[in-house]
Amino acid sequence: MIDALKTAMARLPVLEPGHVWLAGAGPGDPGLLTLQALAGLGQADVIVHDALVDPRVLALAHPGASFEFAGKRGGKPSPSQANITDRLIALARAKHRVLRLKGGDPCVFGRGGEEALALAAAGIPFRIIPGITSGLAALTIASIPATLRGVNQALILVTGHCGDGEDAIDWGALARTRQPIVLYMGLRNLDHIAAALMAAGLDPHEPVAVIAAATQPEQRILISELHRIVAETRELEFEAPAIIAIGAIVRVRAKLLALAGRVAEMVA
């Protein structure tokens, strides 16, 4: 290891007994972990993780660490958010070194904010460690720039998983911004969302990318258009986790791949 990296590793924070680190594990590929998350994996004696955390990341844990799964899996009832925060508090009070590991960034559609509030209210010392959120990683891995001068000035990160209640999303308002939309948890409601965007005036031929299992061995990328994206994702049996990007930035991929074909380093 080069000296500068050794020095950086030696300066990483120490996970003390009784403390909780609320960390993002990134989109899957362990190469996209932060050094701080890696330090947490090396020091934690209990790791409480979600279904989205890649097994290759969990494999980097300290050999003595125990794992607790907290999340949805295979239709079985998932622990409630209150149960999870109670468990984190109990583990910390029992003087464990606790790593709460979530896919992507802990605070982007990941309930990291809620968990931090609960830990703070209970007086548990904690640290929040950012991770690479899947919405951004999926675009980049698919050779779609999140922003491009002259194409977009903003990027909308939005959940497709929300009801009609107080969390209801005004898709028409988002469409009218003419800025690209990056949908998390979007597959299930995609028919409703695509219809609402088109009803608000978005071009039916607006390019769409679906990136499933970004940076994982099962990664799949589909490039399509708004009016046929629902039929195609069904036909090709796209499954969660997937990021759906809608907007002109998606067109850059084809250009980039055509050009990159001429250089040695290929892109996804």
Nearer to ligand SAH, 96 or 133 (CB): 133
Q: According to CB under 6 A, which residues from 219 to 238 bind ligand SAH? A: none
Q: Does 53 bind ligand SAH (CB under 6 A)?
A: no
- Secondary structure class of 93 (helix, strand, coil): helix
C-alpha 35, offset from chain centre? 18
Structure tokens at 66: 């125990």
Residue 49: beta bridge partners? Answer: 69, 101
Site string for ligand SAH, 118-147 (x = CB under 6 A): ---------------xx---x---------
Residue range at the interface with ligand SAH (CB under 6 A); choices 58-66, 70-78, 99-107, 148-156: 99-107
Is-catalytic flag, 266?
no
The correct pick among 25, 48, 105, 221 for binding ligand SAH (CB under 6 A) is: 105
**Candidate list 1, 3, 6, 185, residue with the active-site label:** 185
Residue 165 phi/psi, 5-degree rounding, is: -75, -145
When computed from its CA atoms, the radius of gyration of the chain, rounded to whole angstroms, is 20
User: Which residues, 6 or more positions from 202, have their beta carbon under 8 angstroms from its beta carbon?
Assistant: 175, 226, 246
Let me know if 50 is a catalytic residue: yes
Q: How many helices (H) and strands (E) does the chain have?
A: 10, 10
State the number of binding residues for ligand SAH (CB under 6 A).
25
Residue 65, judged by CB atoms within 10 A of its CB (0-12, 13-18, 19+), counts as: middle
Catalytic residue (choose from 6, 72, 95, 255): 72
Residues near ligand SAH, by CB under 6 A: 27-28, 52, 102-105, 108-110, 133-134, 138, 184-185, 211-216, 240-243
Catalytic residues: 50, 72, 185
